[in-house]
Structure 1
Amino acid sequence: MWTDSVVAGVVDQSTPPWRLRDHKGTVSLVHRVADAILVALGLWLACAFTAAEVSVALISAGLIGTGLFYFLAEIKDLYRPWRTESARVEVWLVLETWLLVAGISLTAIYVQQDAAEYPPDTMLYWLVTTPLLLAAWRWSARSALHYARAHGLNTRRLAIAGGGDLAQHVARTIEDKPWMGLDLLGLFDDEQSDDEQEVEHEPNGSPRGSRSLSTLVDLARRGDVDVIYIALRPGHKERESEALLRSLGDSTASVYLVQDRRARVADGSQGSRQILPNLWRIDVLQRRRLDLGGIQAVSLYETPFDGPDGWLKRLEDIAISSIALVLLALPMLLIAVGVKLSGPGPVFFKQRRYGLDGRQIMVWKFRSMSVCEDGGKVKQARKNDSRITPFGAFLRRTSLDELPQFVNVLQGSMSIVGPRPHAVAHNEQYRAIIGGYMLRHKVKPGITGWAQVNGWRGETDSVDKMGRRVDFDLAYIRNWSIWLDIWIVVLTFFKGFVHKNAY
């Protein structure tokens, strides 16, 4: 088809998977909106205090000032995540940014011949009032977040892989600042000395002790840890670090590599260097920067849908699923009647599958078989499968059996586009033999996906087939954009509904 050549160009799977991106969370989006409002509020208050008329010139000055503030704020990285950094540093950076805005604005205004349109007292009030509003907002927001996190709200369970100086420093930083909202589970290291174990203590004063890296991997696989900081000793072997990262790929935990230039190991005549894993050999997802008390951390396994991107993705899901359910209401009613007449059993088939972060969800489909399997062992549908009803075969060939999943999308357990969910039994089978399989669950499962429009759908009767599907799923997560989602939806109409492997 004409789409084949286009498909190959949408996602270049040879692209290095560690394109460095800034971590933009929900709080950064709120700050952006609040900053624009406060700049406008500062101008309005200045006009009110000086009894100045709100003229077109002053409104233009406000818009230019807002745009200039955004421009300088991006340069100064003002909208980076501040969870692990001091509120004083953040407030000072806000004031410094506005000081530059004031200097540039005053210079630009008073070199013009029509400078009289900008009353000096009004401009002075605006340029002085606005930074106070911005600083007060930032301080209040941080105080509210600190209070909430210190009292158990907006927290994440954290584990640190390592037991040396770097790991100890990170642990102390986190325990000294409960407002970060990081609940430290402990340090995990295979080489920790007795002296280091004696220094370690739980927050209540009892000895923490060191647990092994294999214990950490088990916790991650069970979903008992949300975030893992890799801060291994400088002498840790590269291959061992890579093996740990691959093991953590069998989990839905967010994994960050802590990099400290002070953490060095003697390296003969070459001086000293920090031993880091070779990321070419790791399925890195969404690499982003994070500042941890002055130490840089880079995400290796993280979701692309944190913050504004997550809001955009959810808006896309609600809009498309709502329209689809309205347009498909009558066809779905007719299909429901057909399923009921096709034989005994319920109209809908509900099956447990893994969703976001490996949590179990119930996925809805029109029943297409004479059985409803959802136990510890689920047999995949095969060609000429005797369990498939004649009407069910039609539904499966045309993918009409998937239509009830628009309800899952509207509820929020699924997305329009994402890795297809598999039965829990199949998940447990393949996660044990395919590296990085559970990384698919860093995003919500979808009705359609990048793997499906590339032909990797239907029965996976070999590990190689499932492996190829996982490759495309991970490529989607690495390269996600709203435009990629739209393109996948378009391709679904051409090659996603009917396929030779759909039976």
Structure 2
Amino acid sequence: MSSYDLRDFIRHAAEAAASSPVAPEPEPSRRLSPLAEEIVAAPVKPSYSPVVLAGVVRLAECLLVALTGIAVHWLYLTGRQGYSTAYFVAIPTVAALTVVVFQTLGLYHVGVFRSFVAQSVRLFGGWTVVFLVTLAAFFLAKMGDHFSRVWLVTWFVAGLGALLAGRILLSFATRAMTRAGRLDRRTAIVGGGEAAEELILALTAQPDSGIRILGIFDDRNDERSPDVVAGYPKLGNVDDLVDFARRTHLDLVVFTLPISAENRILQMLRKLWILPIDIRLAAHVSKLRLRPRAYSYIGNVPVLDVFDKPIADWDLVLKWLFDKIVGSLLLILLSPVMIATAIAVKLDSRGPVFFRQKRYGFNNELIEVFKFRSMYVDQSDATAAKLVTKGDPRVTRVGRIIRKTSLDELPQLFNVVFKGNLSLVGPRPHALHAKAENRLYDQVVDGYFARHKVKPGITGWAQINGWRGETDTEEKIQRRVEHDLFYIENWSVLSDLYILAATPFALLKSENAY
């Protein structure tokens, strides 16, 4: 059985369990233990992705090697030989080869970044190998006469010096980030007893694991689940963990329960899968032995992947850049339309041009979104306790037009570009008290809050597939959530581009928008 098969099995089993009737999810006002409240109240500095950090170092060293080669050429050869195509093929090739060799030697791991001595020995060996391979290639291709030997030797020495200097700075920066907790993965352990103790001891024995354990959560209250395990306190049960993860930054949850406890695991996953965190099942004490590729590793501890953050590491960077760049362009291009709309709103009825509304954002946090006001001021419904229906007397004349065409949503570009709490594309943020058939959305759709695993968006997959506007029936909100979850699981930059391009055409079908 491969890792994907096992993860897929667990996931589908959890989804099947989630289809049975259950009580509504706990309210966010749940009271945590005093120690958990203390952790929640403590300020958390933004963390950096080790994957992105390693990628930035790769790019920086590739550029450093290339620029060093160009600089040596400019200083020594430009006045003597002029520019030769051979040099400008060789330089980027050597730069790319350097990254490949360093990667093979394990030089792009955060643990290595911290120690300059460990880096320098391997780096010297790797850089020497790069030049030996380069010289061999020149010899076999009979191109030795095309290159200056002085240039090669000088580049070797200058490049080595530049790389070592860069690694000195990197080691200082990495240690500083480590001390500040900027590279930590904030982790919660689910399950107590000996299995949890063995896992914690294994993780804490590895200073480079990047794991910061916050505490333990377990539904049991007997001798198998003591209040303190390996020096870490029990902070509550799994329901408490859901609220804990809503109120403080959490990256990872590790289950220490045996795979044989399938029902317990699925019951807990049913509550936790809605969170934007990685979920792993510890395999260090499991008697089940799979192929090495079936496992991923936290440090040296084998784990089975159950759920991943839907958008993380470089994907998160790409989506952020997409939102900022495309959002800024749209804001500039649509500014005449927005100005005209603002004037129309102001002339049509008394009151402000903009309307601010509290909505649920990423990880259920409350955000404030901007809209053009479409209702009379004295009849505005900030919490959307009552859905807007066809011919609703609360809506102004201009309001009917801008709601039909979704022009009222354009100020949310300010949220995307300046506040950063919305994306261009994502599940639409719903108002706090939005209802379908007199029931709150999370009471209608089991696992509704899973749509908050990513930032909400101005438009989304549900909207271009006809599920925009009024959600007066349970089926409409069910279908909208289904489309939102499909988007989250299948996200890509290309999908965002497609949804943006399809949105104007979807707006032509406005029979459900009032």
Task: Please give the range of the TM-score, normalised by the shorter of the 2 chains.
Answer: 0.7 to 0.9
Partner of 1:255: 278
Select 1:82's aligned residue among 90, 107, 110.
110
Looking at structure 2, the residues matched to 352 and 141 of structure 1 have their Cα atoms a distance apart, in angstroms, of 42
- Are residues 1:200 and 2:230 paired? yes
Counterparts in 2 of 1:447 and 1:132: CA distance versus 1, 3 Å: same
Partner of 1:28: 54
Counterparts in 2 of 1:67 and 1:148: CA distance versus 1, 3 Å: closer
Select 2:242's aligned residue among 195, 217, 225.
217
Per the TM alignment, residue 130 of structure 1 is displaced from its structure 2 partner at its CA by 3.9
Looking at structure 2, the residues matched to 437 and 97 of structure 1 have their Cα atoms a distance apart, in angstroms, of 51
Q: Superposition pairs for residues 484-499 of structure 1, below 5 Å?
A: 484-496=495-507, 498-499=509-510
Looking at structure 1, the residues matched to 137 and 9 of structure 2 have their Cα atoms a distance apart, in angstroms, of 44
Per the TM alignment, residue 469 of structure 1 is displaced from its structure 2 partner at its CA by 1.3
Looking at structure 1, the residues matched to 98 and 295 of structure 2 have their Cα atoms a distance apart, in angstroms, of 23
Partner of 2:347: 341
Partner of 1:409: 416
CA contact (8 A) 2:356 2:371 kept: yes
- Are residues 1:66 and 2:95 paired? yes
Q: Superposition pairs for residues 72-471 of structure 1, below 5 Å?
A: 82=110, 98=127, 100-120=129-149, 122-127=151-156, 130=159, 133-134=162-163, 137-138=166-167, 140-153=169-182, 155=184, 157-163=186-192, 167-172=196-201, 175=204, 182-190=211-219, 193=223, 199-202=229-232, 208-209=233-234, 211-220=236-245, 222-234=246-258, 236-252=260-276, 254-260=277-283, 262-265=284-287, 272=288, 291-297=297-303, 298=305, 300-307=307-314, 309-370=315-376, 371-375=379-383, 378-411=385-418, 412-426=420-434, 429-471=440-482
CA contact (8 A) 1:352 1:424 kept: yes
SS in 2 for 1:424: coil
Per the TM alignment, residue 352 of structure 1 is displaced from its structure 2 partner at its CA by 0.8
Letter paired with 1:109: F
Residues 345-382 of structure 1, C-alpha deviations (whole Å, 9 max, x = no match)? 3221110112233322211111112222224x622222
Partner of 2:41: none
Looking at structure 2, the residues matched to 248 and 140 of structure 1 have their Cα atoms a distance apart, in angstroms, of 40
Per the normalisation by structure 2, the TM-score is 0.75
Letter paired with 1:32: R
SS in 2 for 1:160: strand
Letter paired with 1:295: V
Counterparts in 2 of 1:183 and 1:418: CA distance versus 1, 3 Å: same
CA contact (8 A) 1:456 1:468 kept: yes
Letter paired with 1:409: V
CA contact (8 A) 1:249 1:437 kept: no
Per the normalisation by structure 1, the TM-score is 0.77
Counterparts in 2 of 1:114 and 1:149: CA distance versus 1, 3 Å: closer
Percent of pairs identical after alignment? 33
Gaps of 5+ in 2: 1-7, 12-48
Looking at structure 1, the residues matched to 234 and 268 of structure 2 have their Cα atoms a distance apart, in angstroms, of 20
Residues 422-444 of structure 1, C-alpha deviations (whole Å, 9 max, x = no match)? 11233993335534432322322
SS in 2 for 1:380: coil
How many residues align? The count is: 455
Looking at structure 2, the residues matched to 233 and 17 of structure 1 have their Cα atoms a distance apart, in angstroms, of 14
Looking at structure 2, the residues matched to 136 and 165 of structure 1 have their Cα atoms a distance apart, in angstroms, of 46
CA contact (8 A) 1:250 1:431 kept: no
CA contact (8 A) 1:200 1:209 kept: no
Letter paired with 1:460: T
Worse-matched range after superposition: 323-332 or 48-57: 48-57
Counterparts in 2 of 1:140 and 1:238: CA distance versus 1, 3 Å: farther
Letter paired with 1:188: F
Looking at structure 2, the residues matched to 395 and 195 of structure 1 have their Cα atoms a distance apart, in angstroms, of 57
